[in-house]
A and B are shown apart, each in its own frame.
Chain A
Amino acid sequence: MQIPHWFWFAAVVLLFWGACGIFQKLATNYISAESSLVWLILGFILIEPFVYPGKSLLHYSKENILWGLLSGVLSNLGAWGLYVAMKSGGKASIVAPICALYPAIVVILAPFLLHESITLRQGLGVLCGLIAVVLLSV
């Protein structure tokens, strides 16, 4: 069995975002979710000096730079939307599992926007994954 290359990067995501869940929970014991999002963005800013690309940024296409910027806008708007949904009376037991289903949007859009397809085995994995995230976020 050969483990795919992306798997190791995904492991980093799981580990660090998994730990985020704990610290986010601890943060919201003291401050509101919206405040925590603002301070979280400050955390992003603290990383900036370490990832500053310098002049090499000019070598990338404007289109892809725009995608990079847009990923930050959309991701944080999504997080804000989640807090607003909770604040405006949405039940956490309903809002959280629905939001956790965001990979389903990617699964639906990827064939059209990225011209990617998945194998039957990968499809089964996606199905298991979607069931898992819903159950884990209830």
Chain B
Amino acid sequence: MIVSKLGAREIPAPTMQFLFTLGSLPVGLALLAGRRFKLEKERKGISYAILTGILSGIGGMGLFAAYGSGGNTAVITTATSLYPMVTVVLAVLFLRERLNWIQVIGLGFAAAAFVLFAY
């Protein structure tokens, strides 16, 4: 996150995402090599994972744009790290999962954090 901030001070978000992906390639190749270039071929799993990559890339551009806007890095990093609250809510809505009391308290703290950051 620190290095993302350093780059995003000058470089616009889409270009940062371009560089981020180039940086991801050696890790992906190393992962592939570690698995001797064998991956599961379950079509549904692959589709969901690729979709995750696309969504993650778009979200990543949001993060680079937030860093580039000059806001406080610690605050932006903490605020954006709260994305599991959206996952939890979506899981309740679409996967029909049930919230446990720990998650409810977590959502409360997340809401408090946003109120404090919004000023």
Chain A residues engaging chain B, CB cutoff 8 angstroms: 1, 3-7, 9-32, 34-48, 50-53, 56-57, 60-61, 64-77, 80, 100, 102-103, 105-107, 109-110, 113-114, 116, 118, 121-122, 124-126, 128-138
Contacts and interface: CB of A to CB of B under 8 A. Distances in A.
Contact of A129 (B9, B51, B81): B81
Contact of A38 (B2, B32, B86): B32
Contact of A68 (B7, B78, B110): B7
Contacts of B3: 67, 70-71, 74
A59 B50 CA distance: 31
B118 A41 contact: no
Contacts of B113: 125-126, 128-129, 132
A10 to B, nearest CB: 5
Interface in B51-95: 51-63, 65-67, 69-91, 94-95
Contact of B76 (A6, A16, A64, A77): A6
Interface residues of B, number: 95
A12 B86 contact: no
Q: Is the interface of B mostly helix, strand, loop or mixed?
A: helix
A37 B56 CA distance: 11
Contacts of A41: 21, 24-25, 27-28, 53
Contact of B59 (A12, A57, A110, A129): A12
A72 B19 contact: yes
Interface string B1-38: 11111110111001111111111111110011011000
B96 interface: no
Given A12-B62, A16-B59, A22-B94, A126 B6 contact: no
Contact of A124 (B56, B63, B116): B116
Interface in B103-119: 103, 105-110, 112-119
